Structure 1
Amino acid sequence: MKLREYLHCITQASTLEQLWAAHCEQMASYGFNRLFYGYTRYRTETSLGDPEDFVILTNHGRDYVDGFLHKGLYFHAPMLRWALQNEGAGSWRRITQLRAAEQMTAEARRVYEFNQAHGVTAGYTVSFHSTSLRAKGAISLCARAGMSQDDVEALWEAQGQDILLINNVAHLKILSLPYLTPNRTLTKRQREALQWVGDGKTMQDVAVLMGLTPATVEKHLRLAREALAVETTTQAVLKAALHNQMFVIEA
């Protein structure tokens, strides 16, 4: 797609699936056919938060995702460490430079060897701007097989600003769309009960509005708290709002 057509497509997307499919197609047209997007709202000085709360979008194969994400290699990846301290576009040439200078930790070397084994060798990482110290998002753009880092640098020199713009717009759109991880899914009734509480209604008010008993309303709120892995209903309202799960317009 041409740039204007692509931007129109993703700004009109109503689901993450629709947006991600269009984004993967567009990035592949530039030569980046393996993407890994991650976003957290729960970052601290020593942690990126509970992985269950990450927004993860990728078209890498299952073996790569299992090793990189589920086995925790991501936390030691040199370009992720770079992304946590920087914003903008970062060349993967930095990895080669760190290795040549023998400045890699043992954990980073394991990530390097894992990536080499999976053909993840050339590309760029985009670290997105955030107005919150707790939030961070980045995307890894891995070049297709056969492209060297020199090839990627030449591509970036010619079209890097457009690629950076496209990824920034996609990121901002992702933040506006509803999402929950599979283990954080709310039912329609749980979401409705949270919405009424978020509107300041009492338990008795919510029961009347939903046509249920107070005990049943409390059951929905308890299950919502469990689904969101929080202790209080107030925390559940906040977390559901952060995940764009409050006041959702039904399709």
Structure 2
Amino acid sequence: MLSGFIEQLLDAPTIPDIRAVFLRAVGHLGFDHFFYAARFMLTVPKVLLRDNPVVFSNLPTELIEQAQKLRDLDQDTWVEWVRNNDGDIAAQDLQDLFGPSRSLALAASHGLGHARIISLRDKVLHSVGAVVVAPHPGADADHLRDCWTRSGREVRVLAWVMHMRIATMQRNLPKVTLTPRQREVLGWRSAGKTVGEIAVILGITAATVEKHMRLAREALGVETTPQAVLKAHVTHQLFQPAEASLTLGGKR
């Protein structure tokens, strides 16, 4: 059973497909509700790239809408715990140890106060994430404990696989905004060529090279050319991956 769900997660082509597989999997393991949130590429400065967080769940719409109105959720108790700890913990145990959580209290008001929180810290380099799973509304601490004792290992593995799969997917990065000439100029600049050398290579004037660099910086919303090179690279606008070969010596 576990291997089948893992295979489906690895084969899922889109994030909605991943969500559907994970929902079926944890439901089969006794958890009717879940919440997933993650942010990737944390080492890239925000001025260069804001990789949108990936968030999805099957929590009640009313609960989600109420949670969105809460302020400073990045400082909430369970979020702080996820950032600083590995492993998993029951929501009630977390609050007993580290203090109350506004979002977990809100979940409790919808009958989902007894949940298990899984930290995904360090499961993927330069990322942070968490999965929260809960049994049916109104489930008590004993029911959560029984479900986790029976299926906790499988839920953890599925959460890890889902998180790693999403990390490898093309997410909501900025759309391509550079012209072919701007990409060409930035490509040569990233190779260490000077403005004068790029002008000779491309057969244009140095002033035209400078113009393309300026327009590229403006399009990418950065201040310097090195920032433009980095942002163009991490948003897949600068270099295209080489076609892979599985034959010996890299030859077909």
Q: Is 1:198–1:237's contact at 8 Å kept on the other side of the alignment?
A: no
Distance change (3 Å), C-alpha of 1:96 and 1:221: closer
CA contact (8 A) 1:122 1:142 kept: yes
Pick from 119, 124, 127: which aligns with 1:135?
127
For structure 2, which runs of at least 5 residues remain unmatched after alignment? 44-48, 242-252
Matched, 1:234 2:229: yes
Mapped partners of 1:192, 1:128: distance in 2: 41
Question: Which whole-Å CA distance do the structure 2 matches of 1:76 and 1:28 have between them?
Answer: 30
CA contact (8 A) 1:67 1:73 kept: no
Measure the CA separation in 1 of the matches of 2:9 and 2:181.
28
Q: How many Å apart are 1:247 and its aligned residue? A: 4.6
Match status 1:186 vs 2:181? no
Secondary structure at 1:57 match in 2? strand
Query: Could you tell me which residue of structure 2 aligns to residue 110 of structure 1?
Result: 102
- Determine which of 157, 160, 177 is the counterpart of 1:168: 160
State the distance in 1 between where 2:90 and 2:58 align.
20
The 3-state SS of whatever aligns with 2:111 is coil
1:110/1:4 CA distance change after superposition, 3 Å: closer
d(CA) in 2 for partners of 1:191 and 1:150? Answer: 61
Q: Distance in 1 between matches of 2:223 and 2:31?
A: 38
Alpha-carbon spacing, 1:23–1:197, altered in 2? closer, same or farther (3 Å) = farther
**Which residue of the partner structure matches residue 31 of structure 1?**
30
Question: Which sections of structure 1, spanning at least 5 residues, go unmatched?
Answer: 45-49
Aligned to 1:64: 63
Change (3 A) 1:72 1:142: farther
For 1:1-251, list aligned pairs within 5 A. Answer: 2-41=1-40, 53-69=52-68, 71-72=70-71, 74-95=73-94, 97-98=96-97, 104=99, 108=100, 110-130=102-122, 135-180=127-172, 185-187=174-176, 197=186, 200=190, 222-223=218-219, 225-226=220-221, 232-240=227-235, 247=240
| Partners of 1:178 and 1:245 within 8 A in 2 | no
Q: Scaled by the length of structure 1, what TM-score is found?
A: 0.68
Deviations 1:102-128 (A, max 9, x none): x63xxx453343222233311111111
Q: CA deviation at 1:194?
A: 5.7
Equivalent-residue separation in structure 1 for 2:81 and 2:214 (angstroms): 45
Is contact 1:194–1:221 with CA below 8 Å preserved after alignment? no
The structure that is helix-richer by fraction is 1
Q: SS where residue 119 of structure 1 aligns?
A: coil
